[in-house]
Each structure stands twice: as C-alpha cells, then as structure tokens.
Structure 1
Amino acid sequence: MNVLELRASLALALVYVLRMLGLFMVMPVLAVAAMDYPDYSPLMVGLAVGGYGLTQAALQIPMGMMSDKWGRKPVILLGLAVFALGSFIASQADTMAWMIVGRILQGAGAIAGAIMALATDVSRESQRAKVLAIIGIAIGFSFYLAVIIGPLIAKSWGLAGIFSVTGVLAVLCMPLVKWVVPNGVKVSSGDTLPQKGQLAELVFSSQLWRLNVSVMVLHMLITLLFVQLPVTLLHFDMTLDSHWTLYLPVLGVSVLGLIIMMGMARGRTPKSYLFVGVSLMGAAFLGLALKDNSWWVTSAAVVLFFTGFNYLEANFPALVSSIAPAGQKGTAMGIYASFQFFGAFLGGMLSGIVTNIFSPEAAYLVGAISTLIWVVVLSGLKEVSRVKRITMSLDNTVAPNHHLSAKLMQVSGVLEVTLNSNSNAAYLKVNRDFNAVEARKVLESG
C-alpha cells in the first residue's frame, strides 16, 4: 500500500473502532445498570440493548445509496452527528424510555456502507483487499475491547458515563473523517454499494436468504445472551466491574478455538463446520438454561458460545461474497447487514418478552430452540468455493454486450461476468487460475 492508502485504512479503521466501541460497551453492562431506572423491566432492557438494530436495519441500505448522491464524507459526518446526539440523549436519560430513544437514534447513524465505499474510493484495485481487511480486523477488535472495558467504565462513571464517552468518541471521529481520510474519486460500484434495481432479486435468492436468516439468528442470539448473562453472573456474587475477569479468558479461549477451526478448514468453509458452529451455540444455551448452574458450567457454556459465534461471524460474509452475482456484492452485503442489525433488535425484544412472561432460563431455552430451526435453514445451503472479485474498466470505444461477456467467460479462471454500461465496468468472479492479461486484451479488443 502507498502512504495515501495506509493513511485512509488506518483512519477509517479508527473511526470504526471508536464508533463500534460505543455500541458494544453497553451490551455487557446495561442489563445490570438499568435496574436503577424507575421504569425498569426485562422488556425495556431488551429494547434498550437491541433498539439500535431497528434503525440500523432500516437505514443501512438507504444511507449507502445516499452516499452515491451526496458524497461519502457528508453522509458519514451526518451519521456520526446523529449517533453522537443519540449517545448524549441516552447519557442524560432518567428513564429507560428516554434511553431507548437515544439507542434508536444511535442506530440511525448507519454509516457502515458509506465507510466501506469511501475505503474503496481511496484505494487501488490491487490494494483494496488489504484496506478492507484492516477495517474488518478493527471491527472485531472493537468488540473484544468493548466487552472488557465496558464494565470498568461503568464502575467509575455509570451507564451515563458510557454513553457520554460514546458521544465524545463519535465527535472525535468527525475531524478524522474530514481532514485525515483522503478524498477519493467516487466510484459507484455494484460490488461496493447497494443498487436499488437488484434488491428484490437478491432478497429472494435461494442461497443468499439462508445466509441472511443465519446472520439474523446469529446476532439475535448474541443480543439475547448479553441481555441475560450479566444478570446470571450476579448470582455468583460477581459485581459488574469484575465481569471482565470472565470475559477476558473466555474470549481468549474462544479465539483460540476459532484459529483451530479455521486451520482445520484450510481456507474453505465446509457446511459441516457451519453445523458445528451452530451446535456449539445451541449447547451453550442448553447449559445456561439449566437451573442452579455452577460458575464452571456457565463459563464453559460461554466459551462454547463464543467459539461458535466467532467462526460463523468470520465466515458468513465470505460466503455472501462468493455466492452473490458478479457486480452485485454491494447489494447482497447491504441486505445481509440489514438482517444482521434486525437480528440484534429481535434478540433484545425476544429476550425481554420471554423473561417478562416466564424466566431467564426460558429465554436461554428459546435460544437453544432457535439453533434447531437454524440447522434446518442451513441444511439447504450449497457448499461454494472461495472466489475473488475483480472490477475492470471498459474502454470507451467498447460497448458492453453479450458477445463481450461470452469472450470474457472464455478467459482462464473467469466464473461469472456482469457488464455495467452506467459505470463502464466489467465485474468478474474469478478463481486462482484467472489470467488478468488475457482479460484485459479481451476488453481492449472488444
């Protein structure tokens, strides 16, 4: 990477870390800290934990499309401002109802698509995967860091302090976006951002809907876990500020489990490994649903949960990328992200309702039953090989047509071709045998 690409990737990764820290720090804290509010109830806790997911799900695709019209940075800055406003409202809330309003506003700052598009704009095709990988690593790092430091910040400043820190971090991101991230040449790419005309086709895709439902259930379950687990830990006389002593080793062991599973898979994503991931999460919820659990059983269950969660969270996006048609990855990922955030909302709602009517153990049991339904959904998923996506510019003198597509399909390693006359580009799905020189000659000759 050159200096410009390195600066862009690190700055955008930092923006992602600071923003996601704010969202994630609340998760291991809110269920316990919210007990001090006058209108406390398990249902209100569920809404407060998952409420941001509703607006994130609704606005993820529209905000990405808006960045094509208004520009990346204006949309990102707008999203950060709305996110900060929601954070400050939540920090000043004296009732859970107002806190939920703040959380819903936080979710309205749905800028993930615009950030990824800006990263694409400021990087060369040959270096784009590295830039996006740095941002992806930052997202994962922010989750682990937030789960550990959230309880510690809550001890010193309370729940209001977490929301205040979140708002300040969002404000600090603004000068980073404005002055540190370089301005790129905006490229409207179907492999980067959602395209309106592709939505209906991809929502009902026979394979993609299984992954969309899967990521919805995945994030439903992690939200359900964090609505229940902090309260469960109180039964072992663990104060909120000591919860990190469980989370830190558990996350460490689960990451080790992820590394082992990824190593055994050897760069592939066998369907059997997906079933293993789901089974680990189901076993975790069954263990947590048992009454009068010991600390060791609870700890083991949480290790199982995060091992399965980490593996599935790491592999589902790659599967979406492999299955989505050439030139339509942006739309496929936009739909995927919307289901992901809706899952967070659904998890909070489901956990709150079941706990209100029955018990925390019943909520864990609902999580276990959900994994059985999930296995049925995944059973129809076809195994696919990992592919690489290439975007190549068309010569202005060459008209996109079926003849050109047919010639490109004959190039070594090309699996799928989509020509786009609006962006004057050829979108290719290729394997390791792809011959870029041969493809460029075809595009130049027409």
Structure 2
Amino acid sequence: MTPTERRASQGLAFIFALRMLGLFLVLPVFALEAQKYPGGDNPALVGLAMGLYGLTQAVLQLPFGMASDRFGRKRVIVIGLLVFVLGSLLAAWATSLQGLALGRALQGAGAVSAAVTALLADLTRDQVRTKGMALIGMSIGLMFAVALVLAPWLTALVGLPGLFYVTALLALGGIAAVCWWVPAEPPRHAHTASSRARFADVLADAQLLRLNAGVFVLHAVQMAMWVALPAWLVLAGLARADHWQVYLPAVVLSFGVMGALLFPMERRGQLRTALRGAVALLALVQAGFLWVAYLDPNSLSLAPLVWLLLLFFCAFNCLEASLPSLVSRLAPITARGAALGVFNTCQSLGLFAGGALGGLLLKQAGPQGLFWATLLLSGLWLALMWGVRPTASAHPSAAR
C-alpha cells in the first residue's frame, strides 16, 4: 500500500470500529436492561426495539450509497454519523421501551456502511483493496469481542442510558476521523443519465447478484448460529460472562490465518478461488455444528465448539474482506456507492432474517433443524459461486 492508501484504510477502519463498538456495547445487555423500562415485560416489544436498528439500516443503505455517488462520500458519512448520534441521545433520554425503540431506529437510519466502503474503494487500487476491506472486517470482529468484555462492566457503572451516551461520543470521534484523518476523496464523476443507466445495470448484473446473495447468506447464517451457540457454550461448562474467552482468541487467530492465505492468493490472482474455499469452509463448519446438534446435550464438550468457531471466523473474515472488494471492482465507478448500497442492504436483511428465522427454527425444529437450514443455505451459496467470473473481466469503468 502507498502511504495514502494506508492512511485511508486505517482511518476508515477506525471509523467503522468506533461505530460498531458503540452498537455492540448495547447488544449483550439490552434485553436484560430493557426490562427495567415501562413495557419491558413484553418480549415481543423488546425484540422489536433490538431489531429496528437492522431494519432501518436495510432500508437506508441504498439511499445513502446513491447519495454518496451524487454529493460526495465524506459529506454523506458525516451526515449519517450525526443521525447516529441523535439516535443514541434519544435512546439515552428514553423513559419507555417505545422511546428506546425509536432511538434504535434512528441509530440505524445513519446507514453509512456503503458510503464508507465506497470511499475506501475510491482511495485504493484494485490489487490492495482487499487488504483495506480486511482492516474494516478486522475492526468489526475485534469490536465485537471487546464489547463482550466491556459491556457488563460499563452497564454496572453507568447503566443503559450511559451506554448510549458512550455510543454518541464514539460516533463523534468517527466524525473527527472523517474530517481530519481520512484523505480527501477524489473528484466525483458527473451524475449523468448514463450513470443512472449504469445503476440499472447494477441491479441486473448477474455477478453482483451472486455476491449480494452471498452476503445475505453469510450474515443470515451468522445470526442464526448465535441463536443456539451461547446456550451450547453454557452446557459445555463455560459461564456466559466468560464467552469472550472463546470469541476473542478465535477472532484474533482467524486474522492470522486470513493474512497468511487470503492476501498471497489475491496477489497471485486467485481471489475467486479463495472466495470459493471460504464458502466451502463455511458449509463444512455448518456440517460440524449439525453433528454437534445430534449429540447428547448433557455430554457437550467445549473443544469441538472452540475449533468450529475458529474455522467459522476464518471463513467469515475472509469473506467479509473479499466480498465488498469484488463488488467495488465489478461495479461501474459512477454507480459504486449504489452497488455497495445494494450489497449492504442485503447484508442488513441477512442479519434481520437470520435472527428472526433462527429463533423460529430453533423453537419449531430444534438445533438440528436450525443447522440443517444453515448447511443448506451455505451449500446453495457454494453452487452460486461457481458462476462468478474472474475480476479481470469486470466492467472496464470500474478499473483503476
């Protein structure tokens, strides 16, 4: 990477890290703390208050991405982070569960993921872009593990309203990074009729559709897995407060595996092969969890769960880095934000669907039915990946 590319990648990863830490800090404690608010005795309302964030994210990723194509990436990112700050403050001031739900919805309305990844694509060359995307993926994974450690301690110290004040401060730190750390964005391309026509092409592009379907499956599988995994870890003898002792080492070790395998394969022009291998590994992990689901719950061992989680994070982090990189290469430059907006919308919908359907499957069909479904989804995605062509044949206007 050039110095400018390193600065752009580190700055944008830092923005993602601050924002995601703010979100993840709330998740481990929200369901318990929400019971202290009027209406908190209704599990359906508590679930809605948690899930509204993902729903508004899904709805607004595409408009924010398209706006960044027209008005500039940095301007849209700052506006989105300000919306997130307002949502955090509204949740901190809430005196009822309905107020919490409204604050969460407004937090999700600051849907800047597409604009951030589009700016990273603008500021990096194709051959190093996956490294930049990997830094963002690593920041998300690390913040998830850090939040699991910090959330109970911070909640005991400042309560749920205090956590939302912390998320607001973290988002303000992200705005400062956009303004003073991230390099200036390149000149915008004219938003002409031809660029709007290219956006229609984005929606019909078979290669991009495969990648969009893939990110939906990846995050649906991830959320569905976590409906069952925490209870399994407890049955295996690991207290809920100690789950980070499994998650954090697995995430960190997976970064080393990704650096040793993914980046060298990308330099050799084998990114498509690496992508297929990661999807195959994801399917293999789901088969492993399906095997665990048929074991006697009273005799669960921690070791197979730890190994399967390590392999899952290896696959997940490789896919988190390579999928948006491929989307940015295949999309026309004038519709790059829109293409990444569609991609991030599918990602958010996957999170929403995985959580909702995972809970339903666990209730109706048990863990066996849940992991049969995740295995089937992973297998279908692997079949779809055989139609993804090499990135060298991407749209010529996407090349740098």
Deviations 1:331-368 (A, max 9, x none): 4333222111111111222234445x437x44x73243
Tell me the distance in 2 between the aligned counterparts of 1:91 and 1:354. 34
User: Does the alignment pair 1:305 with 2:331?
Assistant: no
**2:370 aligned to 355, 363, 366, which one?**
366
Question: Matches of residues 2-401 of structure 1 in structure 2 within 5 Å?
Answer: 8-27=8-27, 30=30, 39=40, 47=48, 50-93=51-94, 97-118=98-119, 123=123, 128=125, 135-158=132-155, 160=160, 161-181=162-182, 183-184=184-185, 186-188=187-189, 196-236=196-236, 238-259=238-259, 262=262, 267-268=269-270, 269-270=272-273, 273-287=277-291, 289-290=293-294, 291-292=297-298, 293-321=300-328, 323-324=330-331, 329-355=336-362, 357-358=363-364, 361-362=366-367, 365-380=369-384, 381-387=386-392
TM-score normalised by structure 1 residue count:
0.71
Q: 44-53 or 212-221, which moves further after superposition?
A: 44-53
Q: Cα distance 1:340–1:117, how it changes in 2: closer, same or farther (>3 A)?
A: closer
**Percent of paired sites with the same residue:** 36
Q: 258-267 or 229-238, which moves further after superposition?
A: 258-267
Q: Cα distance 1:139–1:7, how it changes in 2: closer, same or farther (>3 A)?
A: closer
Q: 88-97 or 70-79, which moves further after superposition?
A: 88-97
Contact in 1 for aligned 2:331/2:394 (Cα 8 Å): no
How far off its partner does 1:253 sit? 4.0
Q: Cα distance 1:366–1:328, how it changes in 2: closer, same or farther (>3 A)?
A: same
Q: Could you list the runs of 5+ residues in structure 1 that have no partner in the other structure?
A: 388-414, 419-426, 431-446
How far off its partner does 1:106 sit? 1.7
User: Which is richer in helix?
Assistant: 2
How far off its partner does 1:142 sit? 1.9
* Aligned counterpart, 1:396: none
Tell me the distance in 1 between the aligned counterparts of 2:56 and 2:139. 21
Q: Cα distance 1:19–1:54, how it changes in 2: closer, same or farther (>3 A)?
A: same
User: Which is richer in strand?
Assistant: 1
Tell me the distance in 1 between the aligned counterparts of 2:83 and 2:337. 24
Larger-gyration structure (1/2):
1
Q: Cα distance 1:167–1:23, how it changes in 2: closer, same or farther (>3 A)?
A: same
How far off its partner does 1:298 sit? 2.8
How far off its partner does 1:216 sit? 0.3
How far off its partner does 1:83 sit? 0.9
TM-score normalised by structure 2 residue count:
0.78
Contact in 1 for aligned 2:257/2:314 (Cα 8 Å): yes
How far off its partner does 1:186 sit? 3.3
Tell me the distance in 2 between the aligned counterparts of 1:17 and 1:109. 15
Q: Secondary structure at the match of 2:387?
A: coil
Let me know the Cα RMSD of the aligned residues: 3.8
Q: Secondary structure at the match of 1:110?
A: coil
Deviations 1:255-286 (A, max 9, x none): 45545653679651237525522323322441
